[in-house]
């Protein structure tokens, strides 16, 4: 059915971004004859960071394409794993994703994180300057044009967030190589070299294995280790590739 606008179909994964009345297939959508399809999709509530291929009457078009009345537009989600070109894969997480940042670091994934809310412009600028993929649940932030790249984090549950990011970007996993506190690299250490940094009880009870090259935090096999081992084991079992490029 042709009308004054287009018929817009969002991929199922993208429908949560649209208002409930616009989540069906072939939703009649007004156009002004001048705006790009990218603008139309953003106006429907979908961040372009989440959009993969755009099909107009079955043919792929760029986001700059200007749709015409009567066309049928299909919006697909990004493919997984999503390749990131132009820089090594590394991330920047917004202030709400601290747990996810620590889990990514636990797996050796470069995950910068701002402890304080430095504001959207500063986050976007850092993403651009350091070529980091910005992870956020804030759609407004993901719309900022300065971003090097961005990705919406679909869940508010840290376990699901981790699986989301690992399945989307397939980063190389190198567990126990990065400081969960500051994102610095860990180096091997032993009790003798770091003994003066430990409480006396800790020194007796635990097996020191690493120290952060940046903040000098010492890591040992302590009380929380079993829980962290489980997170690592599950991630490696599902997303594998420890130490492989
Ligand atoms: Zn550190």
pTM for the full predicted model: 0.90
Query: What is the whole-number distance in angstroms between the Cα of residue 137 and the centre of ligand 1?
Result: 26
Question: If you measure from the C-alpha of residue 227 to the centroid of ligand 1, how many angstroms do you get, rounded to a whole number?
Answer: 20
For residues 98 and 40, state if they share a domain: no
> Are residues 190 and 131 part of one domain?
yes
Regarding whether 228 and 108 lie in a shared domain, the answer is yes
Ligand 1 centroid, distance to 181 Cα (angstroms): 5
Burial class (CB in 10 A: 0-12, 13-18, 19+), 136: buried
- Cα(216) to ligand 1 centroid in Å equals 6
Q: What is the whole-number distance in angstroms between the Cα of residue 169 and the centre of ligand 1? A: 24
Count of structural domains within the chain: 2
| 61 and 101 within one domain | no
- Extract the runs of DSSP E, i.e. beta strands, from 69-166: 72-77, 91-93, 111-113, 133-136, 149-152
Is 244 inside a domain boundary? no
Question: Which tokens belong to 146?
Answer: 């300065």
Q: What is the pLDDT of residue 114?
A: 83
Measuring CA to CA, which residue among 98, 138, 100 is closest to residue 120?
A: 138
Going from the Cα of 177 to the center of ligand 1, the distance in angstroms, rounded, reads 11
User: Are 64 and 111 in a shared domain?
Assistant: no
Distance 92 CA to ligand 1 centre (A): 16
Ligand 1 centroid from CA 58, angstroms = 50
Q: Is the omega angle on the peptide bond into residue 2 within 30 degrees of 0, that is, cis?
A: no
Please give the distance, rounded to the nearest whole angstrom, from the Cα atom of residue 153 to the centre of ligand 1: 25
Residue 108, domain member (yes or no): yes
What is the whole-number distance in angstroms between the Cα of residue 4 and the centre of ligand 1? 58
In a domain, 203, yes or no: yes
Ligand 1: distance of its center to the CA of 197 in Å?
14
Last residue of a domain, one of 20, 50, 77: 77
- Same domain, yes or no: 96 and 174: yes
- Domain end position, chosen among 53, 77, 101: 77
C-alpha 226 to ligand 1 mean position (Å): 21
> 97 alpha carbon to ligand 1 midpoint, in Å?
18
Q: Report the C-alpha dihedral over residues 176, 180, 182, 186, rounded to 10 degrees.
A: -20
pLDDT of 92 reads: 98
Both 124 and 35 in a single domain? no
Residues 10 and 103 occupy one common structural domain: no
Q: What is the pLDDT of residue 4?
A: 81
| Integer Cα distance of 39 and 20 in angstroms | 20
| 3 state DSSP class of 112 | strand
> How many angstroms separate the alpha carbon of residue 239 from the centre of ligand 1?
25
> Do residue 68 and residue 104 come from a single domain?
no
Is residue 136 within 8 Å of 194, Cβ to Cβ? Answer: no
Structural domain of 32: 5-77
Question: Are 71 and 146 contained in the same domain?
Answer: no
If you measure from the C-alpha of residue 213 to the centroid of ligand 1, how many angstroms do you get, rounded to a whole number? 7
Boundary residue ending a domain (50, 77, 104): 77
Residues 234 and 160 in one domain: yes
Centre of ligand 1 to C-alpha 186, Å, is: 8
Asked if the structure places residue 82 within a domain, the reply is no
Residue by residue, pLDDT tens for the chain (245 residues) are 445 899 999 999 999 999 999 999 999 999 999 999 999 999 999 999 999 999 999 999 999 999 999 999 999 999 999 999 999 999 999 999 999 999 999 999 999 998 888 999 999 999 999 999 999 999 999 999 999 999 999 999 999 999 999 999 999 999 999 999 999 999 998 777 776 666 666 666 667 779 999 999 988 877 678 889 999 999 999 998 655 44
Q: What is the CATH classification number for the domain harbouring 65?
A: 3.10.20.30
Residues 72 and 142 in one domain: no
């Amino acid at each position: 059915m042709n009308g004054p606008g287009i018929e817009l179909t969002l991929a199922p994964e993208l429908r949560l971004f649209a208002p409930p009345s616009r989540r069906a297939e072939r939703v009649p959508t007004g156009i002004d004859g001048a705006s790009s399809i990218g603008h139309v999709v953003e106006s429907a509530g979908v961040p372009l960071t989440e959009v993969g291929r755009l099909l107009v009457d079955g043919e792929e078009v760029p986001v700059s394409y200007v749709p015409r009345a009567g066309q049928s537009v299909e919006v697909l989600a990004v493919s997984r794993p999503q390749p990131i070109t132009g820089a090594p894969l590394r991330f920047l997480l917004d202030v709400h994703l601290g747990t996810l940042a620590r889990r990514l670091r636990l797996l050796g994934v470069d995950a910068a994180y701002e402890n304080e809310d430095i504001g959207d412009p500063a986050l976007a600028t850092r993403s651009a300057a350091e070529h980091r993929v910005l992870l956020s649940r804030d759609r407004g932030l993901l719309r900022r044009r300065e971003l090097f790249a961005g990705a919406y984090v679909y869940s508010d549950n840290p376990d699901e967030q981790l699986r989301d990011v690992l399945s989307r970007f397939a980063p190389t996993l190198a567990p126990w190589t990065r400081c969960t506190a500051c994102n610095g690299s860990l180096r091997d250490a032993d009790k003798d070299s770091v003994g003066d940094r430990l409480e006396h009880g800790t020194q007796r009870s635990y097996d020191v294995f690493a120290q952060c090259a940046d903040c000098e935090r010492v890591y040992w096999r302590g009380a929380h280790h079993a829980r962290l081992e489980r997170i690592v084991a599950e991630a490696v079992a599902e997303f594998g590739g420890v130490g492989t490029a």
